[in-house]
Structure 1
Amino acid sequence: VNLSSSLEQLRVENNELDNIDKSLAECTSLTVLNLSTNKIPSLPSEFGLLKNLYKLSVNHNKLVELPEDIGGLEALEYCWFDNNLLTRLPESFGLLTRLVELYLDNNHLHQLCSSFSSLTSLRELYLHNNR
């Protein structure tokens, strides 16, 4: 799908998607992205180019890991990664200094990356049911 660089919101939840094309990173005006309740195992490595994204929902998927460039989402304030298969967070996660709410519950996280302490704007953190 060829999406416009002027697109600001994209909601494709509940579609059984199992892949996100790297061309999504060309939607540089995106502020809200909802990929919830699909079958997505990974995000493209170019994902960090979405500099205007402030709300991201990728909950209820099959994510095993996040791309290292996730730290490039410098405007991100609200983030849902709950109900996935995440086992670790990349060190670049600490660059998300505007993050206010973060949902990481119901994953497979055993520890948080050392850069996590840099998330000084964080007000709500959900980590329950990780194993």
Structure 2
Amino acid sequence: MKIEVLYISNCPNRKPAVERVHDALSNAGTSAIIQEVEVGTSADAKAMRFLGSPTVRINGLDVEPEARAARHFGLGCRSYTESGHRSGLPSVALTCECSSGHRPGCHRRGMGLRVCHRR
């Protein structure tokens, strides 16, 4: 499984997003390497189809299904919608559902994760 957290410099939601992915993986009983990818320029944002910071992708797919058809790319903050509310982070349930293919409420097991930083 390939997991990426794309972000811009000084994003206040970067670390909480990575922690939320860890929580979702733990809930799903899944192990994976999380790649943190800094997006530095507008050209990079367009090339990476970056919707804003932080963007969480699992196997190349955005964890927010509604955002997958979006075509507005650029450097800026990102918000996620769930149950009619906006947040700067994807919910654990949304990330868990995408990472496991199951509905929220996954079983909790111990696991080892590594975080990679890439620019």
Please identify which structure carries the higher helix content: 2
Please identify which structure carries the higher strand content: 2
Please give the range of the TM-score, normalised by the shorter of the 2 chains.
under 0.3
* Higher RCO (C-alpha under 8 Å, 6+ residues apart): 2
TM-score of the superposed pair, with normalisation by structure 1: 0.21
TM-score of the superposed pair, with normalisation by structure 2: 0.22
